[in-house]
Chain A
């Protein structure tokens, strides 16, 4: 059972380049989330989705866009990468409001 899969696991970008992180879950979960983790700051919510076709802004949405065209996939896009977006990105999903989050393994992004 794959659970939550993030691709790619590692990526190095130059300032100004664009990229998309893909999160795929095979558990039929309604809710999906994108976080970034930086030292000393915990996990900060970027965007989230409560169902197919819906997205909402989190705590730090600037510089990122998301899409949830299919229930199982949640894409995180960086249109013009900046060094401040160097971070570890986690995707997570859950099936109900009281359910725990299931996390992907994380994607380490470095912007030079």
Chain B
């Protein structure tokens, strides 16, 4: 069954340091996509980065990179050079392909990141 697990309810990081937010997933569909979203205290959902199951390279978007380890079924988000504005809730999400899941997109419980000055 499709499942996303984020085991870190809260994380602290010093400004300008890098931080890794963990995400593991489970699916029987060979075709799937992994996403990370940010939710600031204002409540909107902001897309950060995408990784496809067949992508050979780890995805990167500015200060965000996705450490994709397919055999371990993990898709950790790495934020480099943390900024105070990175303090937010972060969600990992997965969408299955054309299999039984049929484009269903589910989310993990989230990790709240606190950036310290």
CB pair B43–A106 under 8 Å, yes or no, is: yes
B109: contacting residue among A42, A45, A56, A90, CB under 8 A: A42
Q: Interface extent on B, as a size class?
A: 20 to 34
CB pair B108–A42 under 8 Å, yes or no, is: yes
CB pair B43–A45 under 8 Å, yes or no, is: no
Given the interface pairs A97-B95, A98-B50, A100-B47, the reply to whether A45 lies near B104 with Cβ below 8 Å is yes
B105 at the interface (CB under 8 A from A): yes
> How far apart are the CA atoms of A10 and B44 in the complex, in Å?
15
Contact residues of A between 83 and 112, Cβ < 8 Å to B: 88, 90, 92, 97-98, 100-101, 103, 105-106
User: In the complex, how many residue pairs between chain A and chain B have their CB atoms under 8 Å apart?
Assistant: 57
CB pair A97–B107 under 8 Å, yes or no, is: no
CB distance from B29 to the nearest CB of A (A): 11
- Which of B37, B91, B105, B109: most chain A Cβ within 10 A? B105
A101: contacting residue among B43, B45, B98, B104, CB under 8 A: B45
CB pair B35–A101 under 8 Å, yes or no, is: yes
A35 at the interface (CB under 8 A from B): yes
A77 at the interface (CB under 8 A from B): no
Interface residues of B (CB under 8 A from A): 6, 9, 33, 35, 37, 43-45, 47, 50, 52, 91, 93, 95, 97-98, 102-110
